[in-house]
Amino acid sequence: MKIIIAGAGGIGFHLAKLLSTAQHDIVLVDSSQDVLDYAQSHLDVMTVLGDATSLQVLEEVGVSSAAIFLAVTTLENDNIVSCMLAKKLGAQQTIARINKVDNLQRSFRDTFQELGVDKIISPSFLAAQEIERLIKTGQVTDSFDFEGGKISLVGITIQEQYNYIGKSIEEIKAAKNVTYNPIAILRGNETILPRPAIRIQKGDHIYFISPKSELDDLLATIGSRQTTIKRIMIIGGNEISLQVCRLLEDDYHITLVESNEKICKRFASELKNILIIKGDTSNIELLREEGLSDMDAFIALTPNSEINIITCLLAAQEGIKRTIALVDNTEYTHISQHVGVDTMINKKLIAANYMFRFVRKGTIEAITSLHGVNAEVIEYVVQKESRITKYNLREIKFPENAIIGSVIRGEEHIIPTGDFRLQLDDKVIVLALPDALSKVEDIFR
């Protein structure tokens, strides 16, 4: 399948990386030779230097034969125009990245579709939804939903008082009525697949697949005390923080700190239950004066990744139960568990993972990366009667560096054993290390 991506920056690059693993024909278009050179040296994709709003450039890259055209540059108007042109020239499906969240309204979406833009996606709104999930879930450091939220992939840091310390994976799975399944352990910088003999250590970061309705039971079983979040401090006034406030203001007491007076006035006019403070977001003394030590959660959303990380660390020293930092550098998301920040989020990665759901074709239903884990989590669909449906799992010779975390069969969530046999239309959630990806893809192809 031919996919053209306009914009080779953070979203475009990560999306191309995800799609290239699914063996698509990817073309990256950008007006910067530097970002194209970087992409060319790291990915097996075709790169074209040019402006995606140019009819000539679109014809040169063969947009008429494209199954999907994605416009993900930082310029919203360029994305919309290039999608309109691509659709007119014959692209089957068009997707545009937008910055104005208000354009997501249903009536506006219908207008965009009439103009030739099939889907619009806002990275800021997706990041805000991610923060909302993290705040409402409490103790987890990562949260990714499958099947419309029925199944969740969550990350939990094992602390000194937790019941799981010293227990083996075999002992954990042997408990009665277990509905969750550990699929990866991050121990320092090492990614460990949870084989039966592996024993849990203090500081391990464990990723579980679980029905969303069972997350409270999972946390209770681990021994994690329920974290009640009522008071939240947010620093940084931007589109993400505005959306976070809109999503949370009815259920939480929120204090927002922003240095720009104009932004403060805008927030005051658009929000009803938020205490807005004009002040230096990096001034810890100011934050203390505004009640930092009384907060249950601290969310740093300034444009400066380093300030976000440092203020989160200072907030943690003040006894804040939950810290979330927005980071622009995708590499920072891999160190959150090591430096003491509960969660670092990157809106580019969130948007790319979300877009992948719309461009999927064939056996892959969804894909995501985990903070610090050198692996991909992929949801496959069993689409045809193949050898994978004719043998039990232990007979298939699944790659050693991959693990099946869950099987979704209709409304049923199944933790498979070696005797389990897959069926047509089963959805299979797999974690695979890089050297096992191609072998897993061959099995499900």
Q: How far is CA 340 from CA 310, 320, 322, 328, 372, in A?
A: 10, 12, 11, 18, 13
**Residue 267 counted as domain residue:** yes
**Residue 362 counted as domain residue:** no
- Segment of 29-33, 193-197, 390-394, 433-437 carrying the highest mean pLDDT: 29-33
Confidence grade of residue 21 (pLDDT, cut at 50, 70, 90): low
Q: What is the token pair recorded at 57?
A: 């450039």
What is the average per-residue pLDDT within 376-402? 85
HEC string of 23-46? CCEEEEEECCHHHHHHHHHHCCCE
CB contact at 8 A, 5 and 86 = no
The percent of residues above 70 in pLDDT, for the chain, comes to 95
Say yes or no: 337 and 237 in one domain: yes
**Residue 130 counted as domain residue:** no
Say yes or no: 187 and 251 in one domain: no
- Domain final residue pick, 178, 203, 222: 222
Weakest mean pLDDT among 136-140, 390-394, 423-427: 136-140
pLDDT of residue 293: 92
Indicate the average pLDDT of the chain.
88
pLDDT of residue 48: 95
Say yes or no: 337 and 253 in one domain: yes
What is the average per-residue pLDDT within 274-279? 96
Confidence grade of residue 279 (pLDDT, cut at 50, 70, 90): very high
What is the average per-residue pLDDT within 283-295? 94
pLDDT digits (tens, 9 = 90+) for 320-349: 988 999 998 766 666 655 677 888 888 888
pLDDT of residue 28: 95
What is the average per-residue pLDDT within 31-50? 93
> 107 is in which domain, residue-wise?
2-121
C-alpha dihedral (229, 235, 239, 241), degrees to nearest 10: 10
DSSP H helices, 166-283, are 169-174, 215-222, 239-248, 261-270
- Burial of residue 272 (CB within 10 Å: 0-12, 13-18, 19+) is exposed
What is the average per-residue pLDDT within 396-402? 87
**Letter string b/e over residues 36-59, b meaning 16 or more CB atoms within 10 A of that residue's CB:** beebeeebebebbebebbeeebbe
Say yes or no: 248 and 296 in one domain: yes
Alpha-carbon span 363 to 205, nearest angstrom: 30
Weakest mean pLDDT among 61-70, 299-308, 334-343, 422-431: 334-343
pLDDT of residue 159: 80
Inform me whether the pLDDT recorded for 305 exceeds 70. yes
Q: How far is CA 258 from CA 247, 271, 285, 296, in A?
A: 19, 14, 15, 19
What is the average per-residue pLDDT within 187-209? 88
Say yes or no: 147 and 99 in one domain: no
pLDDT of residue 333: 64
What is the average per-residue pLDDT within 357-371? 71
Inform me whether the pLDDT recorded for 361 exceeds 60. no
**Residue 417 counted as domain residue:** yes
pLDDT of residue 369: 75
pLDDT of residue 299: 97
Say yes or no: 236 and 216 in one domain: no
pLDDT digits (tens, 9 = 90+) for 77-127: 999 999 999 999 999 999 999 988 888 888 888 899 999 999 999 999 999
pLDDT of residue 101: 85
Confidence grade of residue 258 (pLDDT, cut at 50, 70, 90): very high
Say yes or no: 294 and 311 in one domain: yes
Weakest mean pLDDT among 254-258, 320-324, 349-353: 349-353
CB contact at 8 A, 298 and 323 = yes
**Residue 171 counted as domain residue:** yes
Cα angle for residues 30, 34, 40 (degrees, 5° grid): 75
Q: How far is CA 418 from CA 171, 184, 392, 409, in A?
A: 17, 18, 6, 17
Say yes or no: 238 and 341 in one domain: yes
pLDDT of residue 23: 66
Say yes or no: 240 and 335 in one domain: yes
pLDDT digits (tens, 9 = 90+) for 119-150: 999 999 999 998 998 898 767 878 888 877 78
Domain at 190, CATH number = 3.30.70.1450
Q: Pick the more confident residue, 104 or 29.
A: 29
Domain at 238, CATH number = 3.40.50.720
| pTM for the predicted model, two decimal places | 0.81
**Residue 172 counted as domain residue:** yes
Say yes or no: 153 and 213 in one domain: yes
**Residue 276 counted as domain residue:** yes
- Domain final residue pick, 222, 240, 271: 222
- Domain final residue pick, 317, 350, 383: 350
Say yes or no: 113 and 183 in one domain: no
**Residue 355 counted as domain residue:** no
pLDDT of residue 337: 59
Say yes or no: 255 and 297 in one domain: yes
- Segment of 269-283, 406-420, 422-436 carrying the highest mean pLDDT: 269-283
Number of domains in the chain: 4
Q: State residue 280 phi and psi, 5-degree precision.
A: -70, 115
Nearest to 20 by CA among 32, 30, 8, 31: 8
